[in-house]
């Protein structure tokens, strides 16, 4: 699968694909919500779609979306004030499309939900936490190359 870039002509193709994806997957709320967020961000314009690309987790829905989910999950712990998080943001946006249907990708604003940051004893941001089969599997801290992150994710979600 090729990850479509967010610039020029390909951006418009991506937008059309998202609209179709949104309509075709009306029965799956996670996919539908992710597509709707991407469409809304695309319509707002700009190179990076921003944190609105991701479904946000709160203290109330965290366990249901991660530990209790049948689909593996990746949680992006970050803050809008964090420059390193902003550098990781385009990679995370690409993952939303690339892993659609195979991995739910969420965002936790550590400024609003510091309790979640403390719960997992995270040191600094950004942090990526991966959950599968009702348990925490791995953590990736800081800024890494896209391929390195994908390798870690793939080794977890493709493992039986």
Does any domain span residue 141? yes
What pLDDT does residue 23 have? 58
Number of compact structural domains in the chain: 1
Beta bridge partners of 78: 109
Q: Which domain holds residue 143?
A: 50-157
Tokens 């190179």 correspond to 47
pLDDT in tens, 114-155: 999 999 999 899 999 999 999 999 999 999 999 999 999 999
DSSP E strands: which ranges in 25-152? Answer: 55-56, 73-78, 104-109, 127-132, 135-141
Does any domain span residue 147? yes
Kind of pairing between the strands at 127-132 and 55-56: unpaired
Tokens 């469409």 correspond to 39
What pLDDT does residue 34 have? 63
Supply the DSSP string of 19-45, one letter for each residue: HHHHHHTTT-HHHHHHHHHHHHHHHH-
For position 67, which CATH number holds? 3.40.30.10
pLDDT in tens, 35-93: 666 555 555 444 444 677 788 999 999 999 999 999 999 999 999 899 999 999 999 99
What is the pTM for the complete model shown? 0.69
Given a contact cutoff of 8 angstroms between Cβ atoms, the answer to whether 49 and 38 are in contact is yes
Kind of pairing between the strands at 127-132 and 135-141: antiparallel
What pLDDT does residue 36 have? 61
Does any domain span residue 7? no
Whether the pLDDT of residue 5 is over 50: the answer is no
Does any domain span residue 11? no
Residue 159's pLDDT band, with cuts at 50, 70 and 90, is confident
CA gap 12, 133 in Å, rounded: 36
């Amino acid at each position: 699968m090729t990850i479509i870039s967010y610039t020029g002509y390909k951006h418009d193709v991506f937008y059309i694909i998202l609209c179709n994806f949104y309509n075709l997957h009306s029965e799956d709320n996670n996919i539908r919500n992710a597509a709707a967020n991407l469409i809304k961000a695309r319509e707002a314009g700009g190179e990076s779609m921003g944190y609105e690309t991701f479904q946000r987790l709160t203290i109330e829905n965290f366990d249901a979306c991660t530990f209790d989910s049948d689909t593996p999950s990746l949680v992006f712990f970050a803050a809008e004030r964090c420059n390193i998080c902003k550098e990781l943001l385009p990679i995370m946006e690409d993952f939303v499309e690339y892993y659609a249907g195979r991995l739910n990708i969420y965002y936790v604003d550590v400024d609003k939900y510091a309790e979640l940051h403390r719960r997992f004893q995270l040191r600094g941001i950004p942090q990526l936490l991966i959950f599968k089969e009702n348990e925490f599997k791995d953590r990736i801290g800081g800024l890494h190359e896209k391929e390195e992150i994908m390798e870690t994710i793939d080794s977890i979600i493709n493992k039986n």
